[in-house]
Amino acid sequence: MTETKPKTGGSSTSTGSGGSLTSLWERPGYLVRRLHQIHVAIFLDECSDYATTPVQYAVMTALLNNPGADQVTLANDAGIDRTNISDVLARLAERGLVKREAGKQDRRMRVANLTQEGDRIARDMEHASLSAQARLMAPLSAEKRDQLMSLMGELVDANNEFSRAPARKRPAD
């Protein structure tokens, strides 16, 4: 079986045995998934003192920026499937980091706020989270980091509607 190295072009490689015509390293989805796995590992290492997952931290960050948000808004802000946001909030509530209650105007709506401890941890975690991001991007020059962030933002914006959990559009620069 012939193995190919990562390429920037779209050429295909015959395996000679009837297998795939393209290397995994030529597939954007594979690379995005691998990069996500790598980032999660770095995040968990940098943020190990907090025992918080990247998704939980995203929800906590969304609550820092939008206290008292309802679950649907939080799901949109954090890019999480609406059926999963309740579980994430429940786990955070069990740890005493989030308080959930019925909405004041619509009692059927559930709103969430960080507790004092949740606020403290979310703010403390920002340094560790930024350290994880810096570690992930360290192999790239500043110019390439900016370029990668711009390209990823373009791809997310252009394809957001295809996600099972479309995120709220990012603010314009």
**Which CA distances in Å does 158 have to 123, 165, 169?**
31, 14, 10
CATH number of the domain at 71, please: 1.10.10.10
Range of the domain at 72: 24-147
- Give pLDDT tens digits for 40-65: 999 999 999 999 999 999 999 999 99
6 found inside a domain: no
Domains in the chain, number: 1
Residue 14 lies in a domain: no
- Is the CB of residue 74 less than 8 Å from the CB of residue 85? yes
Q: Are 56 and 44 in contact (CB under 8 A)?
A: no
Give the CB-side neighbour count of residue 19, counting CA atoms within 13 A.
11
- What does the pLDDT look like over 131-159, one tens digit per residue? 999 999 999 999 999 999 999 999 988 88
Tokens, residue 2: 């012939």
In this prediction, residues 109-132 reach a mean pLDDT of 95
Evaluate whether residue 11 is within a structural domain.
Answer: no
| 42 falls within a domain | yes
Q: How many Cβ atoms from other residues are within 10 Å of residue 16's Cβ?
A: 8
Query: For the whole model, what pTM was predicted?
Result: 0.79
Q: Would residue 88 count as lying in a domain? A: yes
